[in-house]
Chain A
Amino acid sequence: MNRYPLWKYLLLLVVLGLGIVYAMPNLYAPDPAVQISGYSADFTVDEKALKKITTALDNANIGYKSAALEEGGSALIRLNAIGDQLSAQRTIEEAINRGTNQGDLYIVALNSAQNTPQWLADLGAKPMNLGLDLAGGVHFVLEVDTPKVVNDRLHDSEEVIKKAIRKARIFNTKTAIDKGALVVTAETQEAQTQVATLIKDELPRMQRKSSEENGKFVVRANLAQEAIKEIEDLAVIQNLSTLRNRVNELGVAEPLVQRLGRNRIIVELPGVQDTARAKKVIGKTANLEFRLEAKPDAGFSQRQKFNHRQEDMQARTGGSYLERRPIITGESVTNATRGFDQETGQPQVNISLDADGGAAMHRATRNNVGRRLGVLFIEYRPSTRTVTNADGVEEQIVEQVAIKNIISLATVQSALGREFRTTGLSENEAGELALLLRSGALAAPMVFVEERTIGPSLGAENIERGILSIQLGMFLVVLIMLAYYRVSGVAANIALAFNVALLAAIMSPFATLTLPGLAGIVLTVGMAVDANVLIFSRIKEEIAAGMPVQSAISTGFDRAFTTILDANITTLIVALILFGIGSGPIKGFAVTLSIGILTSMFTAIVVTRAVINLIYGGRDIKKLSI
């Protein structure tokens, strides 16, 4: 009695072995590091820049473990001490970003470099991501100005209906926007009916209401609530993807860009300390301008020279002249994606414009087939320069520099409309161009509503203390279980150890560990033994009631199971709902709690049973040490 078949033991060993392997990377502490990357995809860190960096670090007496170039054109400097991170960042900034008139060329970001051994990394094992409160970093909340987007849409509709009214030759009408509604005032009832029909045909998504006010005949049209929500959603989603692109530019290890509520976006950048700088990159207003290439005979007042963003193109041409007048700007671009030509398979960029932009593009290109169309990318980069002020003290001034570069210059093959494409690019170029076009077209303005910074030393302190309290708490729990349950306590403690390993293994690939999450683990440790306590008290009861030891063990486990299941499912329900509604720290806590409930049920029931079976199973026992 009370014996598991061999396969069950083997299965358990496999599960536990996997748990230990995947939990292991967490034992290797990461190195504090500084990561240096170029501001754009075609601007990379090379050996020369790396040499500059290491020399500067040597001069500043900052010790580092290694300095190496990485794939993707960035460099990673592993430092000896976490306290050196900020001064290393400043030293490197000064060494490579000063003395240029192009704004800062490199992004120097704080980072932590993993130390997971290769064989573990090959198995896909990685340590847990640390949340902001543990790793340090910045946290922003941005609010998307959705009312403006909705209002813009109303203005678009007003234009559409004005045009339709003119075309239908309905006279003496006035259009206006009033309290979120489009109002058309007509003189006669007949005109009112006509206008209502026009609105129905041209703007099918608007809700109409006709009325008579002060002797005039009025039609009011509102955007339906769902339509407003859809417009807002689109705006927020486009801003989200734009933000993701910009955040990627910062070269942060594990950034988080997430929608919060109806029109807010959370951005968390672990490891980044310089809020001012991060804000500039995130909140930068990039824009686009589509301009025709200037004719060779155009006068100076009509043309303007720009550099190409791509280095080889710039080297070949030395810059190109464009007309001074833009055809459209980035606001007209609704989407841009990389695609492939269906016939030739060549990469291309598909560009979509809004109605007005499409019309303007058509007007500008239909008589200019054969000329070249240029796309200017305008971005504002922070530029730091050092000046000597009146007191003779050197001061650093951060200012915004508008950088305008040509990102595409292509021959117009035919009159362009709302949808057109640019070909003749490499795959990477097409990808980069689409990304630039998209990030130049921000759907709605955003404002920062919250910002927080957590220093890396504070993060380190949190982890240290958290781990110490986990160790202490666990040690005490183990002691109590041993003192109270003796040999069975050993089984429970083995289960507890595996519980922590499994919890760490499951959480490592996807969960981000935050301070409340850490507390959740500690709490799980305390509560995890509950299932064992339930089982053991049940076994004790059965023995006290005179049942033979072996059947008491079996009955105890069986009877306690229902209780454990009910108690844990109710807690799990709460945890899952918390996960669904909560944000940030609450979510982290809910994840830890949910996983903790599942692993503790598994280890308390299955692992404890296995150990007890191994010790007592299949023998004739008079007395159980419990």
Chain B
Amino acid sequence: MSDLKVLNFMRYAKVAAITSIVLLVVSIGSLAVKGLNLGLDFTGGTSIELEYATAPNIEQVRSDLVAAGYPSAVVVAYGADTDIMVRIQGDAANLAEDVSQVLNSGEYDVTIKQASFIGPQIGEELRDDGGLGMLFALGVVMVYVALRFQFKFSIGAVAALVHDVIIVLGVFSLLGLDFDLTVLAAILAVIGYSLNDTIVVYDRVRENFRIIRDMTVPEVINYSLTQTLGRTLMTSGTTVVVLLALFFVGGEMIHNFATALLIGVGVGTYSSIYVASVILLAMKVTPEDLMPPKVEVEGEEFEELP
């Protein structure tokens, strides 16, 4: 063993548990009361085709609409270069007139070509499928972790993952950020990231349980966390750097994606240190949990591969 200075992470287990519970309660509360600010992908809305006398500046149109109180309006070029399409939430009968009035007030001459309501059905279907799929994915991951590690570990990993997803959703709900398809993709990426992080820590715990005999369980966990801390920070660091590049440079359309992932990586790093390990402690994990012969044989088989 090296002369590594072991950090006593578990001393703050209670503080962490309380923090997590508070965050979860606030998130779930906000989701229940405020809900998510679902984007057009999910809610449907009105699509208005407009014709300009002269080709308009799309950026200008976008900012005009935001200034007029339509923050979620999507403006795209369409058809000839004098045509644009505005997609906007809501289905009020005079929505199209209101929008064209806003745009007409400037230097442009705008006429409405067509306005139609787009149904949200796709969103509903996707939400249902997505929800089911996520449950299924969680199930498979639990089985895998239970096979490679042990049942208690799979509870811990999935709990950490659910913890992260709920908090990211909660922050989106609290801040009223637009939840669109790209954010859904980001949430899915958070799941991947959070799992990745947790498994790395668990892997070290498993290894230390097997080779260290003279430490208590909390000590082994502290020791493992300390060993992996450098790696955890380094990986989070590089990922965050890339996400910051996306956040600041990537443009309007991936801004929310980057935001969701930045929150997710932050929470994911914290949860792999605290949530995942505290749950192991809470479930009274022991080195004996990892001793069934089947698991060991499998572990060694993999170690010989490279």
Q: Do A and B come from one complex?
A: yes
Interfacial residues, chain A to chain B (CB-CB below 8 A): 83, 86-87, 90, 133, 141, 260-261, 264, 273-276, 449-458, 461-462, 465-466, 468-470, 472-474, 476-477, 480-481, 484, 515-516, 518-520, 522-523, 525-527, 529-530, 533-534, 537, 540-541, 544-546, 557-559, 561-563, 565-571, 573-575, 577-578, 580-586, 589-590, 593, 605
Is the CB–CB distance between A461 and B235 below 8 Å?
no
Tell yes or no: B306 within 8 A of A by CB. Answer: yes
A329 to B239, CA, bound (A): 62
Given contacts A529-B238, A562-B299, A575-B192, contact A581 B245 (CB under 8 A): no
Q: Which of A276, A480, A527, A582 contacts B196 (CB 8 A)?
A: A527
Is the CB–CB distance between B76 and A573 below 8 Å?
no
Is the CB–CB distance between B76 and A570 below 8 Å?
no
Q: DSSP majority for the B interface?
A: helix
Is the CB–CB distance between B251 and A582 below 8 Å?
no
B281-306: CB near A (< 8 Å → 1, else 0) gives 00000000000000000010011011
Give the interface residue-count category, chain B.
35 or more
Closest to B248 in A: A469
A472 to B241, CA, bound (A): 9
A-B pairs with lowest CB-CB distance, top 3: A455-B77, A465-B251, A581-B133
Given contacts A86-B80, A455-B77, contact A567 B203 (CB under 8 A): yes
Given contacts A141-B122, A457-B77, A581-B130, contact A570 B144 (CB under 8 A): yes
Is the CB–CB distance between A545 and B253 below 8 Å?
no
List 17 additional A-B contacts (Cβ < 8 Å) besides A449-B121, A458-B58.
A83-B81, A90-B80, A261-B129, A274-B79, A276-B79, A477-B242, A519-B186, A519-B257, A520-B185, A534-B231, A541-B4, A541-B227, A562-B299, A573-B140, A580-B133, A581-B130, A589-B189
Query: What distance in Å separates the Cβ of B47 from its nearest Cβ neighbour in chain A?
Result: 7
Tell yes or no: B191 within 8 A of A by CB. Answer: yes
A481 to B239, CA, bound (A): 12
Is the CB–CB distance between B76 and A516 below 8 Å?
no
Closest to A564 in B: B200
Query: What distance in Å separates the Cβ of B85 from its nearest Cβ neighbour in chain A?
Result: 5
Tell yes or no: B108 within 8 A of A by CB. Answer: no
Query: What distance in Å separates the Cβ of B125 from its nearest Cβ neighbour in chain A?
Result: 5
A274 to B200, CA, bound (A): 51
Tell yes or no: B102 within 8 A of A by CB. Answer: no
A530 to B192, CA, bound (A): 13
Query: What distance in Å separates the Cβ of B273 from its nearest Cβ neighbour in chain A?
Result: 15
Tell yes or no: B188 within 8 A of A by CB. Answer: yes
Q: Which residues of B contact A515 (CB under 8 A)?
A: 182, 253-254
Closest to A458 in B: B76
Given contacts A449-B122, A477-B241, contact A86 B76 (CB under 8 A): no
A455 to B249, CA, bound (A): 21
Is the CB–CB distance between B250 and A586 below 8 Å?
no
Closest to A524 in B: B242
Given contacts A533-B234, A578-B188, contact A473 B133 (CB under 8 A): no
A530 to B234, CA, bound (A): 8
Is the CB–CB distance between B203 and A473 below 8 Å?
no
Q: Which of B76, B185, B235 contacts A453 (CB 8 A)?
A: B76
Q: Which of A533, A580, A585, A593 contacts B192 (CB 8 A)?
A: A593
Is the CB–CB distance between A456 and B195 below 8 Å?
no
A276 to B237, CA, bound (A): 48
Closest to B44 in A: A450
